[in-house]
Amino acid sequence: MSAGNNFRFITCSVLLIFSYFAENVANEPTPIVMWHGMGDSCCAFYSLGAIKEKLNASIPGVYVHSLKIGDNFLEDVENGYFMHPDSQIEMACEKIQQDSQLANGFNAIGFSQGAQFLRALVQRCPTPRIKNLISVGGQHQGVYGLPNCGALSNNACDYIRKLLNHAAYIDWVQKGLVQATYWHDPLNEEEYKKNSSFLADINNELVINETYKTNLLGLENFVLIRFDNDTVVQPVDTEWFGFYKPGQSVEKQTLQESAIYTEDRLGLKQLNEDNRLKFLSTSGNHLRFEWEWFEENVVDHYLRN
């Protein structure tokens, strides 16, 4: 074989090999990152461990990274109560950036409080890029109520709320109890905006952080899943960015009626107008869903790309 033919043969071989690998990489499913909720952990066999197995079965070959906030199972659970969300998000950002399998971007699924933490990750840690963000029962406008409070009298619920209202915005409580950082008192919006050390910031309540808005608008889709019979999250409207109307705790308002939307403080109005903000609902209590429903409505539309 002449030198010229040999060169052409090598060149063609290299191009074929490159084309093969490029095609196979392009066909690989987009990786998935999951973030668990309060009282759960990254890998419990009865929760996110089981969901990871179902995702692997539904999307053969998909890489799933379930975030562990800490060095072990116990730390992961405890940090869901006692490590400030800002610190959790910094740790999650580092873990994701150190995972080479996520370097080209990923889809993300957040469960309960893990949903608003993942949204904050989108806003604060834009690389690698999150393509589709799936919020499963997330509390994006915070909470103002107790789990299964419906089992108590209204007077008892109101009394306990008042106790929480008295303590939730104290500095050491904000620093030491995760759930206080997304406690949202509609009776005193100004105190909430001033003293909420996490939720008020990521919702651009006081000032508009344009970086937060730009990064959130970088999503291909933002999917909000609400549980219609949720007795854990109060009010359930928060799972679709709705909440109580300011100044009282009876009447609700939708996202579209709120200032966060009408002033487009986060880019949600733009996402909605672009048909990239999705509202899904399912019957059942908090985080209780049939896998067939999730596969048909979420996996098939947002996770197979």
Q: Tell me which residues are annotated as active site.
A: 112, 230, 286
- Residue 111, classed as helix, strand or coil, is strand
Q: How many CB atoms lie within 10 A of CB 39?
A: 11
Q: Calculate Rg over the CA atoms of the chain.
A: 22
246: tokens are: 């300011």
Distance CA 231, CA 240 (A): 15
What does residue 34 show for φ and ψ, rounded to 5 degrees?
Answer: -120, 145
Distance CA 196, CA 194 (A): 6
Of 121, 294, 144, the C-alpha closest to 223 is: 294
Distance CA 110, CA 184 (A): 20
Give the dihedral of Cα atoms 69, 38, 287, 248; nearest 10 deg.
Answer: -130
Q: How many CB atoms lie within 10 A of CB 125?
A: 17
Q: Across-strand partners of 81?
A: none
Distance CA 241, CA 88 (A): 22
- Residue 107, classed as helix, strand or coil, is strand
Distance CA 251, CA 78 (A): 35
Residue type, 194: K
